[in-house]
Structure 1
Amino acid sequence: MTHEEPGLFDLPAAAPATPVIEEPRISPEQIASIRGAFDIAGIADMAERQEVIQGCVIRSISNIRELYSREVRQVLARIEGWGRKSESTSGSAWDNREEDTWIDKL
């Protein structure tokens, strides 16, 4: 190895870091749809609303406006399923399934 050849640790300069793209925040229409879903589900308590939303995102949020637009579908699905968890069920998971299986269709 001569002095003109690159050495083991002679790495090229690092490429410039890509700029951080800020994700779009929730829109007023999406906020209205979430609030409407809460009303339909009968979830009026603010602590319970925050618990539902916090269960969908992995970061801490203190206000609905901190949500990203991509998280709205998850939140709406969680709100829709929130009331179902309190329903008393009897029988097995097979008995309580909501959709027909291929066996049911025979």
Structure 2
Amino acid sequence: MIKHIVMWRLKDEAEGVSKAENAVKIKEMLEALIGVIPEIKALEVGFNVLESPAGFDVVLYSEFASLEDLSAYQVHPEHEKCKDFIGEIVSDRAVVDYEV
């Protein structure tokens, strides 16, 4: 199993709305992929609840059966739409993919 974790720091304002509004939109877009991209075994999106200079604003936790499934997810057209939007509103990003 592959666990895919992504964290984002959001711009204070982007695409004409606030950081909080964009965080909600990220969550809605990513959660909408469940059932659309069959390779997703689990997916959750959360918001940071403690302000910290080292903190990120939004986190994605997802699971895939294999690296091949993760690769299929990465290039799926619906995931590409999410990546395009997220790329416009983030200031920083961190990613970890690991096998269990």
Is the shorter-chain TM-score for this pair beyond 0.5, marking a shared fold? no
Q: Rg bigger for which structure?
A: 1
* Higher normalized contact order (CA 8 Å, seq sep 6+, divided by chain length): 2
TM-score by length of 2: 0.31
Looking at secondary structure, tell me which structure has more strand per residue. 2
Larger proportion of helix: 1
